Structure 1
């Protein structure tokens, strides 16, 4: 089967979607399928990265809010590319205009919308949630819901990686929603990579002894990740119990992240760790991972932490919440700094070693991306008589 992934979120210096795509380029050919990533780029270009794995770009402008990304703006060029590649199955990986373009393509291949983004949670709920209930926000954004329902009618599947998002999509009137969790890259993250010397060194950088709790947060510095909230909660919890926080990432919200540190010696900001083995070693060497974003569609970093044997502290909604498991994680009220500080204290006072032992014992059972792709292919292969079929 030739699968063309029209992926507006793919960029050479991107985040979780880039990780997902890189594994996809290995996993699908290994299963006997051809995968073409069709992405916006600086120029029209086709590159075979391995047998059966192709990255093709269509010249497109830069996205104004994040220059690492570009966006499809030429529907005819996109349709010409789909005609040339003649896919057996088409994926769209953004719920915005590129998905509508794919929906309007007159080719006969069946298609799936992969929900790599949850714009309502990332923007509307975050902006207006402190003032009005979600039901009212949904009514105010009915135009977006109508857009999603039109996409739903144009696609055979709308694939969600989290139960939370899938439930809301179905409640909003979408009929083709399928919940299919993603996973972690195999053979990278492992509790056995724990390095006590690295842990001691990081705690020393935070001005703390090795009996303190070493917390980790990893993510893009953007408002929806709520890193200032995570930092403020960790500093508040540190007033009662020794807590060090390592913040890993970069992005346009860097000033707000630095400001939240308030010159606390117990918070250290590190540059992104791009080498996967080094990131796996760092994760395995911490005591718990905190995640601040309630708008994740899966939360790759939390899954990677689980595979590293790390306990989690996650919000009570969104994709990160799906990663919660009793006795291996704790949840706090999303967006609530005081409740997050309370949960940090509670986990530290109960004894992180208890949560860590349980997390280590369950690490090997964390779902991999290869299992996800196998399930995805099975979903596609099962439908040989879709309404788009010739």
Structure 2
């Protein structure tokens, strides 16, 4: 098959989506498929990354709110590109303009909408938290649900990486939604990368000795990630336990996160780690991973933490919650800083050695991206075969 991914979220400066796309470019040809990533870029270009793996861009304007990204703005040019590539199957990685454009394309290829974002959780639910219930917000946001139901009629599959999101989509009338969990890059993350010297150095940056607990946070510094809430919970738990937090990332919310640390020497806001091997060592050298975002559609960070053998402190909603396993960390009520602080305090007071042992044992069973792609390609092949036979 030639699988063409209309990927509005791809950018060389990206995070989880970039990691996902780059692995797909490797996994597709190995499975006998040609992968074409069609992304908005600075110029029209076609790059053969490897045999059977192509990265093509259409010149497009910068996204005003984040100039690391661009967006498709010319439907005729996008349709012309689809006609030119003649894909056997088309994917779209955004539920917005690019999905609507592909939905209106007159080509015959089956189509899959990949829900790489949960708009309602990331924005309206968060903005209106405490003012309206989610049910009320959904009623007020009926235009969004009508949009998704229209896309549901235009696409053969609506693929979600989280059961939580899939169930909400189905409840909203998106009856073609199905869950296809993602995974971690194979061969990168492992408890064997744990380095006591790295752990000691990170704790030293937090002004703590090796008898303290090292929490690790990782991700974009954006409002929906709720890092200030994480800082507040860690500060509260730190009143009764020696605990340090190192947050790795970059983004427009950095200054707000630094302010939320209240000058504590035990919270360090560090730059992102680009080198994957270094990241794997850093993760494995922590004592637990903590995450605040309930709007994740999969939460690659939690999966990487689990594959590194870390206990996970996670919200009880969204894609992050799917990575929780009993005895391998804890879950708190999403968006509730008091409950997060309570759960974290209880975790720190509990048998952390046992939690670490169970988490290390669990690491080898964490799903890989290749398993995800095997399942996805089989789903697509069935759809293409049915269309050919019709």
TM-score (norm 2): 0.99
**Residue aligning to 1:178:** 178
CA distances 1:323-353 after superposition (whole Å, capped 9, x unpaired): 1100002000111111111111111110321
Matches within 5 A, 1:63-212: 63-212=63-212
Matches within 5 A, 1:231-250: 231-250=231-250
The gaps in structure 1 that reach 5 residues or longer are none
Residue aligned with 2:149, SS: helix
Structure 1 CA distance for aligned equivalents of residues 380 and 129 of structure 2: 37
CA contact (8 A) 1:40 1:71 kept: yes
Going from structure 1 to structure 2, the CA distance change for 1:177 and 1:33 (only over 3 Å counts) comes to same
CA contact (8 A) 2:88 2:384 kept: no
How far off its partner does 1:242 sit? 0.5
Structure 1 CA distance for aligned equivalents of residues 191 and 14 of structure 2: 26
CA distances 1:28-51 after superposition (whole Å, capped 9, x unpaired): 111110000000000011000100
Matched, 1:44 2:51: no
Alignment: residue pair count: 390
**Residue aligning to 1:253:** 253
CA contact (8 A) 2:287 2:310 kept: yes
Give the 4+ runs in structure 1 shifted more than 3 A: 384-390
Matched, 1:2 2:25: no
CA contact (8 A) 2:43 2:60 kept: yes
CA distances 1:76-97 after superposition (whole Å, capped 9, x unpaired): 0000000000000000000001
**Residue aligning to 1:337:** 337
CA distances 1:270-300 after superposition (whole Å, capped 9, x unpaired): 1100100000000000000001000000000
Moved more, 335-344 or 92-101: 335-344
Structure 1 CA distance for aligned equivalents of residues 231 and 384 of structure 2: 50
Structure 1 CA distance for aligned equivalents of residues 262 and 96 of structure 2: 38
Residue aligned with 1:94, SS: coil
The gaps in structure 2 that reach 5 residues or longer are none
Structure 1 CA distance for aligned equivalents of residues 170 and 389 of structure 2: 25
- What RMSD in Å do the two structures reach over aligned CA positions? 1.1
TM-score (norm 1): 0.99
Residue aligned with 1:69, SS: strand
Matched, 1:61 2:30: no
